[in-house]
Structure 1
Amino acid sequence: MADNNPFPGENNTGHIWDDNIRELANPPPRWWMIAFWASIAWFLGYGVLYPMYPIGQKPTEGVMGWTQIKEYQEGLDEVVAVRAEFENQLKDMSAKDILANPGLADYTVASVKVLFGDNCAPCHGGGGQGGPGYPVLADDDWLFGGTVETIEQTITMGRKGIMTAHGKILSDDEASKLADAIAAGNPTSDPNFLQKGCIACHGMDGKGMQMLGSANLTDGIYRFVPEEGKSVTDSVKQTILHGVNDVTDPQTREAVMPSFGERLSKDEIKKLAVYVYKFGGGQ
């Protein structure tokens, strides 16, 4: 920094480096000053119009009375007004009637996506593709039936199938042979299928009974996907030995569909039933 100012008459601060690099004391451009004071005025004006200045636990309300909640509610009211025409029609219609009306069915599918995402997708996937330990909703294999009425009942009441653990009445070798027969799609080929009472729930042909929610053992579709490193036969054998929802066996499979009857309204459940049915797996 120079001790003496070598640029007499120049409006600088006297701070000079390397003989000619200096700090000037010129005022900011007029446009910059206008913008600066305008921003201060805008800030003060905003604080008058909208919530801003903290006072205790709350901000000032602002003379316009605007809040995010009010803006959200206004937007929601607009959506409700647009939907009202369709929602009023749906109130007095059954899920089956909705499906028979293409326009209302399309509206139902479009309007219930968020409801499905919040309540069903965590287990069954966003497209009904299922997940580890949870059923696929987009195929035509249904334990309790896939009519829209049955789907509505399932959502409302929930489901909890039960299969007795057979580890106490079957030897490991017998369980292996029965599992092999089931994995091959021919459960009746093993004598234990008849002798150990499997027909009571799965029927003489092994195709299951929807009234009981028992699985079809001939179609190669399984409620429980084999764990990594395990075969289908291993998974079937585990189910045979330890059952499903059998409280007497600590290694039993767990398969419970919760009831949504108290969580959701009848109209919401009805629309969800239509949505699930429209995945393409209803029957």
Structure 2
Amino acid sequence: MADKNPFPGENNTGHVWDDNIRELRNPIPRWWMIGFWISLAWWVAYGILYPMIPMGESWSKGVLGWSMVGEYQEGLEQVEKVRAKYEEQIAGLSAEEILADEGLTAYTVASSRVLFGDYCAACHGSGGQGGDIFPVLADDDWLYGGSVATIQQTITNGRRGMMIGHGSMLSEQEIATLASLVADWDGASEEARTLYQSKGCFGCHGADGKGIQALGSANLTDAVWRFSDLDPVASATYTITHGVNDPNQPKTREAVMPAFNERLSENEIKKLAVYVYKLGGGQ
């Protein structure tokens, strides 16, 4: 190919494409070589100063002794030093007393976001909006009460309410009548209200249908649905038939809030209680 080089005397390799595109033998620019050698020197220096080279199950530590874990721990110590004075105050106060201090409340809410994200958001949503089978924490509808003390108790010990399934005790028509009452309390027929009383539903949900917080029974008169609001009648029918946490009903609803007293410290639970209370639904 070099014998047929159409550019004789030019410093090229003899490789020509499309008549005039060729590979030249020009030396690499001096500035590029200087940059190359500087970068090579920097690579060697970095390997001496910092951890870099794998060595079996370990690695070279570097003469500076720096590590990402060490830098993280130093930063964490700085953060904990700033937070220490607030954490010490929280340890000596109740959740109610924390809420009475505006500055301490602001710190507690800000410092509990990660806690809520780690332990609560998977079920209740990042903003407490709840899910298909998990309660909303940002409204004012509470089965057991929305005081900060009650919320703290719930987080500590968990909750496991129970409603027995009535599928074998009530006829399909009776269940349908009661479901219509639950779906539209104010517009329900007198027949539905009479059936509610005669079947003893008031024993758990109260004569006015507003629920009994000591029992954790649902308020049947509002438009808040624990399991589904797409079809209130169908949802109520299913719950009346199969119950909630009924061990004798294979198709029962499952609604369990786990206890966190063995996973979180007393301070962490207290802070989470304040955080949930301040989501907007505490009362």
TM-score using structure 2 length = 0.93
Quote the Cα distance in structure 1 between the aligned partners of 2:21 and 2:200. Answer: 100
Q: Please list the CA deviations of residues 169-192 of structure 1 after superposition, one character each: whole Å capped at 9, or x if unmatched.
A: 100001101111121115784322
User: Structure 1 stretches of 5 or more lacking a match?
Assistant: none
Change (3 A) 1:280 1:4: closer
1:164-183 correspondence runs (5 A) = 164-183=164-183
Is 1:252 aligned with 2:252?
A: yes
Residue type of the alignment partner of 1:7: P
Residue number in structure 1 paired with 2:219: 216
Residue type of the alignment partner of 2:8: F
Does 268-277 or 188-197 show the bigger shift? 188-197
Change (3 A) 1:7 1:241: same
Residue number in structure 2 paired with 1:108: 108
Q: Identity of paired residues, percent?
A: 61
Does 185-194 or 35-44 show the bigger shift? 185-194
The structural deviation recorded for 1:249 is 0.5
Residue number in structure 1 paired with 2:151: 151
Quote the Cα distance in structure 2 between the aligned partners of 1:212 and 1:72. Answer: 47
Residue number in structure 2 paired with 1:7: 8
Residue number in structure 2 paired with 1:60: 60
User: Structure 2 stretches of 5 or more lacking a match?
Assistant: none
Q: Please list the CA deviations of residues 27-59 of structure 1 after superposition, one character each: whole Å capped at 9, or x if unmatched.
A: 212111111111111111111111111111111
Quote the Cα distance in structure 2 between the aligned partners of 1:86 and 1:108. Answer: 8
Residue type of the alignment partner of 1:267: N
Residue number in structure 1 paired with 2:36: 36
Residue number in structure 1 paired with 2:126: 126
Quote the Cα distance in structure 2 between the aligned partners of 1:158 and 1:16. Answer: 79
Quote the Cα distance in structure 2 between the aligned partners of 1:30 and 1:198. Answer: 91
Aligned residue pairs, count: 279
Change (3 A) 1:21 1:237: closer
Residue type of the alignment partner of 2:145: G
Answer whether contact 1:242 1:253 (CA < 8 A) is retained: yes
Answer whether contact 2:2 2:13 (CA < 8 A) is retained: no
Residue number in structure 2 paired with 1:280: 280
Instruction: State the secondary structure of the residue aligned to 1:260.
Output: coil
Quote the Cα distance in structure 2 between the aligned partners of 1:195 and 1:280. Answer: 38
Answer whether contact 1:177 1:190 (CA < 8 A) is retained: no
Residue type of the alignment partner of 1:73: Q
1:202 counterpart (201, 205, 209): 205
Change (3 A) 1:38 1:208: same
Residue type of the alignment partner of 1:237: T
Answer whether contact 2:161 2:216 (CA < 8 A) is retained: yes
Quote the Cα distance in structure 2 between the aligned partners of 1:47 and 1:249. Answer: 66
The structural deviation recorded for 1:22 is 4.3
Quote the Cα distance in structure 1 between the aligned partners of 2:84 and 2:197. Answer: 57
Residue number in structure 2 paired with 1:97: 97
Answer whether contact 2:156 2:261 (CA < 8 A) is retained: yes
Instruction: State the secondary structure of the residue aligned to 1:7.
Output: coil
Quote the Cα distance in structure 1 between the aligned partners of 2:144 and 2:233. Answer: 24
Change (3 A) 1:20 1:278: closer
Root mean square deviation, CA, Å: 1.8
Q: Please list the CA deviations of residues 131-153 of structure 1 after superposition, one character each: whole Å capped at 9, or x if unmatched.
A: 10110111111000000000000
Quote the Cα distance in structure 1 between the aligned partners of 2:32 and 2:54. Answer: 30
Residue type of the alignment partner of 2:262: E
Answer whether contact 1:53 1:59 (CA < 8 A) is retained: yes
Answer whether contact 2:52 2:59 (CA < 8 A) is retained: yes
TM-score using structure 1 length = 0.93
